[in-house]
Amino acid sequence: MKFMLLLYSDPETFPAPGTPEGDAANARWFQLTEEMAQAGVLAGGEALQPPETATVLRAPNGSAVLSDGPYAETKEFLGGYYVLDVPDFDAAAEWAAKLPNAAAGATEIRPVVEFPQS
């Protein structure tokens, strides 16, 4: 069963890139990503650019309207995601609990809809 882990972080508490603390945080992410791969549960994942690079598209009347920035005004921002192929929700939650953002951010765990192959 596939689950997407949506990784949210608070930029106020997350270490800045290029600092020793940021480098240590990145090392923890890379280590856990490798652990997932070695366990055979990693089906995909990427880090995302910061929220200020986001663009939201809406087409309320069939005409596209673009606006800068993320959809929601929140303290935490979506920083990346993993897709895991694990036996059940409990296994996905176990992996989510190991993520470095668990202490100061949040991880949304969502089942992926798997459509039949034609």
Q: How many CB atoms lie within 10 A of CB 35?
A: 13
What does the pLDDT look like over 26-52, one tens digit per residue?
999 999 999 999 999 999 999 998 888
Ordered by where they begin, the domains of the chain are 2-111 (3.30.70.1060)
Q: Distance between CA 95 and CA 5 in Å, rounded?
A: 9
What does the pLDDT look like over 61-114, one tens digit per residue?
889 988 887 665 567 788 999 999 999 999 999 999 999 888 778 999 999 998
